[in-house]
Amino acid sequence: MVSIIKVKDGVASREPIPAFLQGLLPESLSDLSWTDPALGVQDCAWWPEEDASGELDTNKKWGAEVLTLDVERKVVLVARKQVSMTAAEKAARDALIAAEWAERIAARRWQAETSGTVFGGMPIDTDDRSKLLINGAAMRADRSADYVLRWKTSEGFVDLTAAQVLAVADAVSYHVQFCFDREDVLLGAVADGSITAEMLEEGWPV
Cα dihedral sign for 169, 174, 175, 180?
A: positive
Tell me the residue range of the domain where 63 lies: 4-84
Residues 197 and 97 in one domain: yes
Same domain, 32 and 75: yes
Q: How far apart are CA 76 and CA 14, in angstroms?
A: 11
pLDDT tens readout for residues 170-195: 999 999 999 999 999 999 999 999 99
One domain, residues 78 and 161:
no
Report the pLDDT averaged over residues 78-103.
95
Residues 68 and 112 in one domain: no
Tally of structural domains, the chain? 2
Which of 177, 69, 27 lies closest to 117, judged by CA? 177
Quote the pLDDT of residue 176.
97
Residue 72 lies in a domain: yes
One domain, residues 75 and 92: no
pLDDT attached to residue 167: 96
Instruction: Give the number of other Cβ atoms within 10 Å of residue 81's Cβ.
Output: 12
> Is residue 92 located within the same domain as residue 50?
no
Residues 6+ apart with CB under 8 A from 14: 5, 6, 67
* pTM higher than 0.75: no
Query: Does the pLDDT value for residue 1 go beyond 80?
Result: no
Q: What span, in angstroms and rounded, lies between the C-alpha atoms of 107 and 104?
A: 5
Are residue 95 and residue 187 in the same domain, yes or no?
yes
Q: Does a structural domain hold residue 206?
A: no
Q: Which of 48, 65, 84 is the last residue of a domain?
A: 84
Of 31, 61, 84, which residue sits at a domain end? 84
pLDDT in tens, 111-163: 999 999 999 888 999 999 999 999 999 999 999 999 999 988 878 899 999 99
> What's at 76, amino acid-wise?
V
H helices of the chain, where?
A: 26-29, 87-113, 128-143, 162-192
Side chain identity at residue 124, one-letter code: I
Average pLDDT (41-45) is: 96
